A and B are shown apart, each in its own frame.
Chain A
Amino acid sequence: MDNTFTSYETGLSLLLKRLGHNHPRYTEALTLQSRLLENLARARLYGDTEINRAERAQVVDALNRLALKALGTSFNVLIREPGWAALEGTGAEVHVEVELGAVRENVVTVAGRDVYESVIVTGDGEVVGVDHRRRELERARSAGDRAAEGAALANLGSAYAARGDFHHAVEHYEQAIVIARELSDRQAKAIYLQNLGLALLRLADAEPDQSETHLSHAADALRRAMELFDALEAAPLLRARTRYHLGRCYHQLGRWREAITLLEQARETFSRHKARPELAHALLKLGQLYHQRQDFESAYIYLKDALRLFRRLKDTDGIAVTQEALGSLALQTARPADAIASLQEARQGYTTLRRKERLRAVDDLLRIAHQARQPIGEIGVTP
């Protein structure tokens, strides 16, 4: 926890430095800085409480909006999450098949990360190795078929992405986009742009130092893909999926209102087309966003819907992630008994999936929830 606090402090210094003394919003930033520092000091001295965390979320929200308006980047991007670096390198792949009506898609998730954060849709029906894709590319080049070359480059990009090599994935998608542009193939360009956006999103996770840049590029690529799909009147689910990923991207950039608008649009389409797995993820993401925005009532409604769907899908990971979010929400809204019930189920799921890093987080929350249930005298709170 202290590492997180330190990252807040680093972020604050960076924000003030970038704003500079003469910026019209410098005084506002200073006020927020003093509120956040006071909050952190309180948490360090007397332990963190739900009220404290809620207040901190509010200040961070204000800092996000200030930083976005003044610097074009969110405060969340300015701070460095220490957990990210530790996650790097856990690149074992898990292949999951997602069925959407007649469309079958391969979804690649990287073990040790949240599924909803790491979905990569390759779009070509199966995931195959880099060597195979490279040979495919060579064949297209020797035949002088530019369209096939573009497709092969994109496929090679997807193979790299599936391997966790997002730099090479980005490089190949970008080359594919150049060819699609040259051939005026807007459909292909939109698909490659979407894949590029997803790879950049993953890269942002993998490289916290460069996360701001990667997220901005990802947002740009996904926005362009969305505009193209809309112009081409592409399949509603494809358009909804792009909105979902762009919404995720805006969420990470701290552009919460835009994220909510896009994710709500995606949710409506997923719901209309009965795309249950994607609907469940959209509901989960929206629930988390509303929670961050302190709209606890909406958060609860969306998370409960997500949980119902994950249960129907028998998606252990989805259930665990949603129960963790519900547990955290229950804690923040002073319902420790509900929090314990949710967190215990989350713990069970993470144990089955061997997700150690989530287990640690859930155990922390469980400890707080059990403390919250004890009478004040037994906790030994410092007055």
Chain B
Amino acid sequence: MSSIARYRKTLRRWGLSDVPFRATPPEDPAELSRIFYGRQRELDLALPALYEGRNVLVRGLWGVDKTAFILRLLHRLQQETAALGERMLILYVGRFPGETSEALYRALLLPLSETLADAEPEARRVYDALSGLQIIHSRQLQVEGKVDLRLVSIGGSWERGREEGWQIQNVYTVLLRLLNVAQERYGRVIVAVDDLDKKEPRAVQDLIDDATDLLRRGQGKRGFLLTGRFTSTLQDVSGQMLGLFSETITLPRMSTDELYHIAVNYLNTARERPSGEVTPFAAEVISRIAEYAYHIPRQFNLICEKVMRRGAMRGVERIDEQTFLTLWRMVQDEFALELTPDIRRLLYVARRSGGLSADIDDATLEQLGVETFVELLPMLKSLEGDLLIRQEDGRLLPSALVPDEEERGN
């Protein structure tokens, strides 16, 4: 039997069409609602603030599923506002190129001008001028023509636009004018920007400083939802100091129970008949994966996906604790093969020293061959996420996917 045939046969035996886990959640709000679980308290805090056109900051550790939360929030806002018979325009900007306030304004202009293009000549001109952009993802959802939810992600670079002549002069003024037009038409405009936590924190600081005027203006009629990487005490205070947000929503890590429900939801998307079970996983294995994932949904989904795929390839009946340990070792070994010696050394030192942070000692710096922690920042930044997991106290710990070589040696 071929490998794929065996893989498919195992999945069928498990009652699944495919391996449903994904590290990043779907951007389609309807699809997302099938997977999303929990965060009720946070939704209850954010919904009324946004409904009233206030600014909201959503922050949390990398991988804690801020995007899923925001998309769910906006979808709920759209549905509940429409149910009240009120009008509202909701814009969501995922990725956008650049780290300046002008780049942000341009990114906002794209969905805004697209929405208004039919009725407003200036919006049409702006939209035409921006048509050279590389749009990664664009989607519009309308509820009875009253509440528009427009989602967009932009790739490429603004420099290309300069070469091709689709730059817009006085971007900020044009943006304010079109926002006013949108407000007149819809009553309230909600703008969500979901890319900020992935940009350089210092650049975001500058960007927020520059955009303070935009964020302050029109409160009550125009609400902004921004994402922040504000996780440590220091970042936390920095964000709050700006005094720009009516609500600051911190997304905590997820409990084992919440992750269990997410696993069930994912598995149900690939099942013919929904179930409340985590089959083929044993319940104890899900608890163990939650622990290995530091209770971070992205890591959890990633581990579930990798373990499940290897289990299906080997044709295992069930992923119980014993089987999991075998599969887990395979996953770790394959993961380690992708790492360069430099990265392996850094991760090894990070694990042995209990995590890397600004409070690092001289001996650890010496082991890493640098004099200052600042020198490590570019490398740490590139590894943060899948390989290094930031803790609430700022320490960066290696992902459980990275094997502990010393432990293996013993």
Whether B241 sits at the interface, judged by CB under 8 Å, is yes
Chain B residues with CB under 8 Å of A300's CB are 234, 358
Query: In the bound complex, what is the Cα–Cα distance between A189 and B372 (angstroms)?
Result: 35
CB atoms of B241 and A305 under 8 A apart: no
Interface residue ranges of B391-406 to A (CB < 8 Å): 394
Chain A, residue nearest B238 (CB): A296
CB-CB contacts below 8 Å: B351-386 with A: 358-359, 362, 365, 371-375, 377
Q: B residues within 8 A CB of A332?
A: 237
The verdict on B273 contacting chain A, using a C-beta distance below 8 Å, is no
Interface size on B, residues (CB 8 A): 26
State which of B202, B233, B238 has its C-beta within 8 Å of the C-beta of A335.
B233
A298-B362 in contact (CB<8A): no
Knowing A297-B232, A297-B235, the reply to whether A55 touches B371 (Cβ < 8 A) is no
Whether the pair B358, A301 counts as a contact (CB closer than 8 A) is yes
B362 nearest in chain A by CB position: A308
Asked, given contacts A296-B234, A297-B201, whether A55 binds B241 with beta carbons under 8 Å apart, the answer is yes
Asked if B242 CB lies within 8 Å of chain A CBs, one says: yes
Task: Please tell me which one of the listed residues A279, A304, A312 contacts residue B358 in the complex, with CB atoms under 8 A apart.
Answer: A304
Contact of B372 among A283, A299, A335 (CB under 8 A): A283
What number of A-B contacts does a CB cutoff of 8 Å give? 73
A297 vs B390: C-alpha distance when bound (angstroms): 14
Q: Are B237 and A333 in contact (CB under 8 A)?
A: yes
Query: A298 touching B202 by the CB < 8 A rule?
Result: yes
Residues of A contacting B371 with CB < 8 Å?
271, 274, 276, 279, 309
- Tell me if A295 counts as interface (CB < 8 A to partner B): yes
| Contact of B234 with A279 in the complex, beta carbons under 8 Å | no
Q: Do A58 and B206 touch across chains, with their CB atoms under 8 A apart?
A: no
On whether A294 and B372 interact (CB within 8 A), knowing A334-B237, A335-B233, the answer reads no
Identify the closest chain A residue to B394 (Cβ).
Answer: A297
A279: B residues at CB distance < 8 A:
371-372
Min CB distance A226 to B, Å, is 22
A224 within 8 A of B: no
Q: Could you say which interface size class chain A belongs to? A: 20 to 34
Interface residues of B in 327-372 (CB under 8 A from A): 358-359, 362, 365, 371-372
Residue of B whose beta carbon sits closest to that of A312: B362
Query: CA separation between A301 and B376, bound complex, in Å?
Result: 11
Most buried by A among B209, B237, B362: B237
Q: With an 8 A cutoff between CB atoms, is B243 at the interface?
A: yes
Q: Is the interface of B mostly helix, strand, loop or mixed?
A: helix
Q: Select which of B233, B237, B372 is within 8 A of A305 by beta carbon.
A: B372
**B362 touching A295, Cβ below 8 Å:** no
Residue A302 CB within 8 A of the other chain: yes
Beyond A271-B372, A283-B372, A301-B373, is A294–B241 a contact (Cβ under 8 Å)? yes
Asked if B201 and A61 sit within 8 Å, CB to CB, the answer is: no
Q: Enumerate chain A residues within 8 angstroms of B269, measured Cβ to Cβ.
A: none
Q: Does B205 contact A (CB under 8 A)?
A: yes
By the criterion CB–CB under 8 Å, are B209 and A61 in contact?
A: yes
Chain A proximity of B70: nearest CB distance (Å):
23
Q: Name the residue on B nearest A57 (C-beta).
A: B241
CB distance from B133 to the nearest CB of A (A): 27
Residue of A nearest to B212 (CB): A62
Q: List chain A residues, Cβ under 8 A from B394.
A: 297
Interface string of A325-354 (1 = CB under 8 A from B): 000000011110000000000000000000
Per the bound structure, the CA–CA distance linking A294 and B206 in Å amounts to 10
Question: Is A44 part of the contact surface with B, judged by Cβ < 8 Å?
Answer: no
**Quick check: is A243 within 8 A (CB to CB) of the other chain?**
no
A305 to B376, CA, bound (A): 11
Residues A54 and B374 in contact, CB atoms below 8 Å apart = no
Minimum CB–CB distance for A276 against chain B, Å: 7
Which residue of B233, B234, B238, B374 is within 8 Å of A283 (Cβ)?
Answer: B374
Smallest CB–CB gap between A251 and chain B, Å?
16
Instruction: Return A123 CB to nearest CB of chain B, in Å.
Output: 26
Which chain B residues in 229-255 approach chain A with CB under 8 Å?
232-235, 237-238, 241-243
Tell me the smallest distance from the CB of A120 to a CB of chain B, in Å: 26
Query: B233 to A295, Cβ gap below 8 A?
Result: no
Q: How far is the CA of A334 from the CA of B394 in the complex (A)?
A: 16
Q: Is the CB of B359 within 8 A of A304?
A: yes
Q: Give the complex CA separation of A260 and B206 in angstroms.
A: 12
Chain B, residue nearest A334 (CB): B237
7 A/B residue pairs, CB under 8 Å, sorted by A: A257-B206, A294-B205, A294-B241, A295-B205, A300-B234, A301-B374, A304-B359
Give 6 closest A-B pairs by Cβ, nearest first. Answer: A296-B234, A305-B372, A301-B358, A297-B234, A304-B358, A54-B241
